[in-house]
A and B are shown apart, each in its own frame.
Chain A
Amino acid sequence: MSDTSFVRTEMLAEQDPPPTSVGVIGWLRANLFPNWWNAILTVLCLAAIWYVLSGLLGWTLRSVWTAGSLSECREVMIETWGSTHGHACWGVINDRWLQLLFGFYPPELYYRPILALLLLIAALAPVLFADKVSPRLLYVTAAYPFLMPWLMWGGSIWTPVGVAAGFVVAYLVGRALRGAVAGLVLGILSAIIWWMVWFGFPVQTEVLAAGLGEGLAAISPDTAPFLLETVESRKFGGFMLSVMIGVVAIGCSLPLGILLALGRQSNMLIVKAICVGFIEFIRGVPLITLLFVASTLLNIFLPPGTNFDIILRVMIMVTLFAAAYMAEVIRGGLAGLPTGQYEGADSLGLNYWQAQRLIIMPQALKISIPGIVSTFIGIFKDTTLVSIIALLDPLGLSNSIRADTDWNGIYWELFAFIALLFFIACFGMSRYSMYLERKLKTEND
C-alpha cells in the first residue's frame, strides 16, 4: 500500500479569470447571452432595433435640406437616390423654423422673446439650483412676472411698474395692519385702488383727482420712456406660445395648488367647500371644454367691445386646470406624512402657517416631486390643445404650413420637429426632478 496522499505545500498563484468572463466578451456573456434563451431574445431585439434605426436614420439623414417646396424636394430625391421613398424633406423646417418657433411675431423684434427666455433662465436659476447660484438672482425672479409681459407685448415700462407697485402697496398696508384678516383684506383693497388710480379708471377723476392722480398722470402709461413697440396677441404663436402658456401655468399652478390642497384639508367649512367644489369641478371637465369657454363663451357673456386678451384668457384657464390637479398631487403628499409630524409641530408651539412652512410643506412637497413634475409635463404638452381654438401653436401652425401649396402633403417632418422641441423641454423637466430627488434624499427615507 503506497502512500499517495497529496498535500499542496504552497499557494497557487492567482490566475487571470478565463478570457470568456472578462472584458467585452465577459460583459456580453453576462448581460446579453447568459443562456440560449436570452441569446435568442438578444438577437431578436438587436434585429428589431437595427430594423427601426436603419429606416429612421436613413430617413433622417439621407434627406433634402434646401428645397423650397415639396415637389422640389421630390425632384431632388429622384435625382439623388432614384426614389422618394424613405427620405425626409427637411426643406420645410429650413423654410419655416422661425415661424414654428415664434409664430407671426415681427422678425425685427425676435430679440424680445429671446431676452424673455434668457431672463426666464436667470429667474429660475436661484429657485431650481439654490445651492449653486447667488441668491441675488432672486431679484430677477421677483421682477420676472412683470418684465415678461412687458417684453412680450410691449408698451410702456410704467404698466408693469404700476402693477408691481400695487403688490408693494398691498404688502406695506398688510404689514402696517398686522391684524391677520383685516390686513389681508385692506392690503388687497389698497392694491386695487392703486391700480385704478394708476391705470386711469374713473376713480382717478372723481375721488383722487387732486394730488396723487395728477402727479401720476405725468408718468402714466403711453407717455413714458422705455416705450416698446406693442405686439398684438394674435401675432403670438409657435413654440413661443406653448412655452409662455406652459411657464405661466406651471409657475402659478404650484402656489395655487398648495393653497387649494391646504384649503381642502381645512376645518373651516366654507373654505373647504369652495376648495373641494373648485377641484372637483375643474377635474371633472376636460381642458378642451375650458378652452372653449375661454375662447367663445366668454365672448358672449362679456359686454360687446370688451377686449379681454385671448391669450390671457387661455393662460388663466390652463392655470386653473393645472392648479386643480396640482392640489390633488400635493394632498397626496400631505396624506403621506405621519400624524406625528403635525403633532410635533403643534407641540413646538408653531402656529398654522409656521408649521406648514417649516415642517409640513418641505416634507410633503418632497414626497410629491414626481407627481408635481409629471403634472407640469402633462400641462406643458396640453398647451397644444389651444390649436383647436385657433391659436397657432406649433401644431396649429403645422396645419397652416400645410395649407401653403408649396408644402401641402408634408407631415412627418413637421411633426418630428415639433416632437423634438417638446421632447427637449419635457426631458429637461424630468431629469431635473430626478436630480432634485437625489439632492433631497435623506438617510431615513
Chain B
Amino acid sequence: MQKSVFYGALAAAVVIGGAAGAATLDDVKARGNLNCGVSTGLVGFASPDASGNWEGFDVAVCRAVAAAVLGDPQAVEFIPTTGKTRFTALASGEVDMLARNTTWTFSRDTDLKLDFIGVNYYDGQGFMVPKALGVTSAKDLDGATVCIQTGTTTELNLADFFRVNNISYEPVPIETNAEAQQQYLAEACDVYTTDASGLAATRASFESPGDHVILPEIISKEPLGPVVRHGDNEWGDIVRWTLNALISAEELGITSANVGELSGGPTNNPEINRLLGTEGTLGDMIGLDSEWAQRAIMAEGNYGEIFEKNIGENTPVGLARGLNAQYTEGGLIYSPPFR
C-alpha cells in the first residue's frame, strides 16, 4: 500500500519532470558537466580514491558519456546515491543518468518510468561457503544457516531456490554487506549469499581467500545497466549508443591505444569507419559530432579494457568474463550494428 503511494508520487513526478526537462542533452551542454548517479561505494564498480577521484566499472560508463557529449571525460560530477535515493535522484533531475549496478526489472522499467539503456554487467546471485564445509553444490546446503541482506531481491530469490529444490535453510538476517562479511568470517553462518560479483570482491578481501569457494549455482538473473529517465529518447539514445560503442570497439579490436591511429583516416573496415566517424554521419543522427565515439573509447578504453582494469582477473576483485564476454567468445555482451 505504502509502496504504491510512493511509486505513484514518483511516477507523477517523473511525468512532470519529464515534460519540463525534456532536453537533457541541452541541459548537460549548458551546464558543462554530466551529473552521474553512482553507488556510494561498491568494490570495483564505483569508489572514490584518497584524493576524491571516482573510479570503477560503472564510473567508466559515466566518463565515456561525458567524453562523447562534452569532449572531456573529467567533466562529470559524481553524485553518490543509495539504493533508496537512486530513483528519485534520477526522476527529479538531480542526476542525468544512473550508472549504479541497478538490476533491470520489469517494474522498474515500466512502473517507475525509467529506461534501462542496456546491460553493462550480467550478474546473478551466488553462494560462498568455507572450503572446510566440503560442499560442492548449492543443492547440498540442506539445513544450512545463510547470511542474507534483508529487504532485497536476494532474500526472495533464496527462498524460491530452496523451495524449488525442497531443502531447508535458516536465514541469518543482516543489514549491510560489511556486516555480512564480519558475520560470515565469525562463522555466524555457513553460507553467504549475494550477487556473484559482490561475493568475488568479498572473498578477495579475506585473509585467506583460498579457504572459501563460490559455488557454481547462480540462482537469479541480475542484468545491471545504466538508467535514464523515461521520455527523453534523444538522451537515452546517446547513453545507449555510447555503451554500445564501447562494446563494439572491443569486438572490432579498437582499443584506447590504437583508437587515435584508426581514426586518423578511413580503414578497410567500414564498420570501424562508421563508428569512429571517418565515414558516414552517425554522430549527426544522435545530435553529436562525428568524433563522439572516438572520445568515448579514448576516455577509459573499450568495454574489455574497462572490465580488465576495474574488475577483471588481474584486479583484486578477480572476476572472469563469463557471461560478460563478447558474444563471439560465448558471452552475452552484444552490440547492435553501427549502421
Mark the stretch among B78-86, B142-150, B261-269 that contacts chain A. Answer: B78-86
What is the chain A residue whose CB lies nearest that of B9?
A300
Collect the chain A residues with CB atoms within 8 Å of residue B176's CB: 399
Q: Which of B69-83 contact A (CB under 8 A)?
A: 77, 79-82
What is the chain A residue whose CB lies nearest that of B318?
A405
CB atoms of B13 and A403 under 8 A apart: no
CB atoms of B41 and A400 under 8 A apart: yes
CB atoms of B44 and A304 under 8 A apart: no
- Interface residue? B181 (CB, 8 A): yes
- Interface residue? A107 (CB, 8 A): yes
What is the chain B residue whose CB lies nearest that of A288?
B84
Mark interface residues in B185-216 (1 if CB within 8 Å of A CB, else 0): 00000000000000001101111000000000
- Interface residue? A388 (CB, 8 A): yes
**Contact among A234, A295, A305, A400 with B85 in the assembled complex (CB-CB below 8 Å):** A295
Q: Shortest distance in angstroms between B13's beta carbon and chain A's nearest beta carbon? A: 4
CB atoms of A305 and B93 under 8 A apart: yes
- Interface residue? B165 (CB, 8 A): no
Collect the chain B residues with CB atoms within 8 Å of residue A303's CB: 20
Contacts from A to B (Cβ < 8 Å):
70-71, 74, 84, 95-96, 98-99, 103-104, 107, 232, 234-235, 292, 295-297, 299-300, 303-305, 387-390, 392, 396, 399-405, 408-409, 411
Collect the chain A residues with CB atoms within 8 Å of residue B56's CB: 403
Q: Shortest distance in angstroms between A23's beta carbon and chain B's nearest beta carbon? A: 47
Assembly CA distance A411 to B184 (angstroms)? 14
Q: How many residues of B contact A (CB 8 A)?
A: 49
Assembly CA distance A231 to B77 (angstroms)? 13
What are 26 A-B interface contacts by the 8 Å CB criterion? A70-B205, A84-B207, A95-B50, A98-B50, A103-B52, A107-B51, A292-B84, A299-B88, A300-B13, A300-B88, A304-B16, A388-B84, A390-B79, A390-B89, A400-B40, A400-B47, A402-B43, A402-B178, A403-B40, A404-B41, A404-B43, A404-B48, A404-B49, A408-B204, A409-B181, A409-B202
Q: Shortest distance in angstroms between B7's beta carbon and chain A's nearest beta carbon? A: 12
Assembly CA distance A408 to B205 (angstroms)? 6
CB atoms of B41 and A403 under 8 A apart: yes
Collect the chain A residues with CB atoms within 8 Å of residue B207's CB: 74, 84
**Contact among A70, A304, A388, A403 with B39 in the assembled complex (CB-CB below 8 Å):** A403
Assembly CA distance A337 to B24 (angstroms)? 61
Contacts from B to A (Cβ < 8 Å):
9-10, 12-13, 16-17, 20-21, 39-52, 56, 77, 79-82, 84-85, 88-89, 91-94, 176, 178, 181-182, 201-202, 204-207, 315-317
Q: Shortest distance in angstroms between A414's beta carbon and chain B's nearest beta carbon? A: 10
Q: A396-B40, A401-B47 are in contact. List 17 more A-B contacts (CB 8 A).
A: A74-B207, A299-B13, A299-B88, A299-B89, A300-B10, A300-B13, A300-B92, A304-B16, A304-B92, A389-B82, A390-B80, A402-B178, A403-B56, A404-B48, A404-B49, A405-B315, A408-B204
CB atoms of A405 and B316 under 8 A apart: yes
Collect the chain B residues with CB atoms within 8 Å of residue A390's CB: 40, 79-82, 85, 89
CB atoms of B43 and A403 under 8 A apart: yes
Assembly CA distance A392 to B182 (angstroms)? 22
CB atoms of B92 and A99 under 8 A apart: no
**Contact among A74, A234, A305, A403 with B42 in the assembled complex (CB-CB below 8 Å):** A403
Collect the chain B residues with CB atoms within 8 Å of residue A411's CB: 178, 182
What is the chain A residue whose CB lies nearest that of B27?
A305
Assembly CA distance A179 to B13 (angstroms)? 46
CB atoms of B178 and A305 under 8 A apart: no
What is the chain A residue whose CB lies nearest that of B37?
A390
Q: Shortest distance in angstroms between B181's beta carbon and chain A's nearest beta carbon? A: 7
Q: Shortest distance in angstroms between B297's beta carbon and chain A's nearest beta carbon? A: 24
What is the chain A residue whose CB lies nearest that of B79?
A234
**Taking each of A95, A235, A409, which has the highest tally of chain B beta carbons within 10 Å of its own beta carbon?**
A409
Q: Given the known inter-chain contacts A396-B40, A400-B80, please indicate yes or no for A304 contacting B20, CB distance below 8 A.
A: yes
Assembly CA distance A399 to B43 (angstroms)? 10
Q: Shortest distance in angstroms between A348's beta carbon and chain B's nearest beta carbon? A: 55
CB atoms of A299 and B40 under 8 A apart: no
What is the chain B residue whose CB lies nearest that of A301?
B13
Collect the chain A residues with CB atoms within 8 Å of residue B93's CB: 304-305
Assembly CA distance A107 to B50 (angstroms)? 11
Collect the chain A residues with CB atoms within 8 Å of residue B40's CB: 387, 390, 392, 396, 399-400, 403
Q: Shortest distance in angstroms between A115's beta carbon and chain B's nearest beta carbon? A: 21
CB atoms of A403 and B46 under 8 A apart: yes
**Contact among B17, B46, B52, B182 with A104 in the assembled complex (CB-CB below 8 Å):** B52
**Taking each of A103, A104, A235, A292, which has the highest tally of chain B beta carbons within 10 Å of its own beta carbon?**
A104
Collect the chain B residues with CB atoms within 8 Å of residue A295's CB: 85, 88
Assembly CA distance A70 to B82 (angstroms)? 25
**Contact among B182, B206, B317 with A405 in the assembled complex (CB-CB below 8 Å):** B317
Collect the chain A residues with CB atoms within 8 Å of residue B45's CB: 403
CB atoms of B316 and A96 under 8 A apart: no
**Taking each of A95, A387, A408, which has the highest tally of chain B beta carbons within 10 Å of its own beta carbon?**
A408
What is the chain B residue whose CB lies nearest that of A77?
B207
Assembly CA distance A177 to B72 (angstroms)? 58
CB atoms of A399 and B178 under 8 A apart: yes
Q: Shortest distance in angstroms between B174's beta carbon and chain A's nearest beta carbon? A: 14
Assembly CA distance A96 to B48 (angstroms)? 11
Assembly CA distance A430 to B317 (angstroms)? 45
CB atoms of B82 and A408 under 8 A apart: no
Collect the chain A residues with CB atoms within 8 Å of residue B315's CB: 405
Q: Shortest distance in angstroms between A387's beta carbon and chain B's nearest beta carbon? A: 8
What is the chain A residue whose CB lies nearest that of B201?
A408
What is the chain B residue whose CB lies nearest that of A414?
B178
Q: Shortest distance in angstroms between B19's beta carbon and chain A's nearest beta carbon? A: 9
Q: Given the known inter-chain contacts A399-B41, A402-B178, A408-B201, please indicate yes or no for A389 contacting B85, CB distance below 8 A.
A: yes
What is the chain B residue whose CB lies nearest that of A310?
B94
Collect the chain A residues with CB atoms within 8 Å of residue B178's CB: 399, 402, 411
**Contact among B51, B94, B316 with A299 in the assembled complex (CB-CB below 8 Å):** B94
What is the chain B residue whose CB lies nearest that of A234?
B79
CB atoms of A304 and B21 under 8 A apart: yes
Assembly CA distance A235 to B54 (angstroms)? 12
Collect the chain A residues with CB atoms within 8 Å of residue B316's CB: 71, 405, 408
Collect the chain A residues with CB atoms within 8 Å of residue B47's CB: 400-401, 403-405
Collect the chain A residues with CB atoms within 8 Å of residue B204's CB: 405, 408
Q: Shortest distance in angstroms between A48's beta carbon and chain B's nearest beta carbon? A: 22
Collect the chain A residues with CB atoms within 8 Å of residue B317's CB: 405
What is the chain A residue whose CB lies nearest that of B39?
A403
